[in-house]
């Protein structure tokens, strides 16, 4: 790789790593796994750096790589534990004064309960702020599939969050 390409990639990686890591976190609910997935995604981008068009497709390709990395991690046998499985009374977070942390954890747990395709659509559409077309391209599905998976995912999130709110004292 030429020095100029190395510099471009380094700049791209520095700018997009936080965003890719947050996207991965919302998909898997674990910061360590999110860090691994974001790094795996950047390795994939680096390998194809000379062949990727540098326009709008670059960020979309990076998102596709991070989604694939999270889904690949989830299929590994040692990664099949869920956030609910590892959280118990002794490790439950304390409520903070304004409730922001608690609310965020509730949303992350609700996202973790969604099937992977619904979770990916919701995260890419509403957190990563990708358009329908970009999300469809990243996931390799049609626009109709993105619409239906997003709709189902949001409906399920509402149910899960509503149940949580009702059960909270």
> Nearest Cα to 34, choosing from 77, 93, 84, 83?
83
State the pTM of this model. Answer: 0.66
Topology (CATH level 3) of domain 3-167: Butyryl-CoA Dehydrogenase, subunit A; domain 3 (1.20.140)
Judge whether 10 and 50 are in contact, CB under 8 Å: no
Q: How many CB atoms lie within 10 A of CB 5?
A: 12
Taking the domains of the chain in order of start, what are their residue ranges?
A: 3-167
Task: Give per-residue pLDDT as tens, 106-161.
Answer: 888 889 899 989 999 999 998 888 889 989 988 899 999 999 999 999 999 999 88
Residue 95 has pLDDT above 60, yes or no: no
Q: What is the pLDDT of residue 10?
A: 93
Q: Cβ neighbours of residue 120 under 8 Å, at least 6 residues apart? A: 27, 67, 70, 71, 139, 149
User: Poorest-confidence range of 70-74, 98-102, 164-168?
Assistant: 98-102
């Amino acid at each position: 790789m030429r020095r100029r390409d190395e510099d471009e990639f380094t700049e791209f990686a520095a700018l997009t790593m936080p965003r890719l890591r947050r996207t991965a976190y919302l998909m898997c609910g674990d910061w360590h796994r999110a860090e691994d997935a974001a790094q795996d995604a950047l390795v994939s981008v680096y390998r194809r750096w000379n062949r990727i068009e540098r326009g709008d497709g670059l960020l979309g390709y990076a998102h596709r790589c991070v989604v694939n990395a999270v889904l690949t991690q989830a299929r590994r046998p040692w990664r099949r534990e869920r956030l609910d499985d590892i959280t118990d009374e002794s490790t439950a977070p304390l409520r903070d004064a304004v409730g922001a942390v608690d609310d965020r954890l509730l949303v992350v747990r609700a996202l973790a309960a969604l099937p992977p395709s619904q979770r990916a659509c919701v995260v890419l559409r509403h957190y990563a702020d990708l358009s329908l077309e970009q999300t469809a391209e990243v996931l390799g599905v049609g626009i109709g599939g993105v619409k239906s998976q997003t709709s189902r995912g949001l409906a399920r999130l509402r149910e899960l969050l509503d149940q949580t709110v009702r059960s909270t004292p």
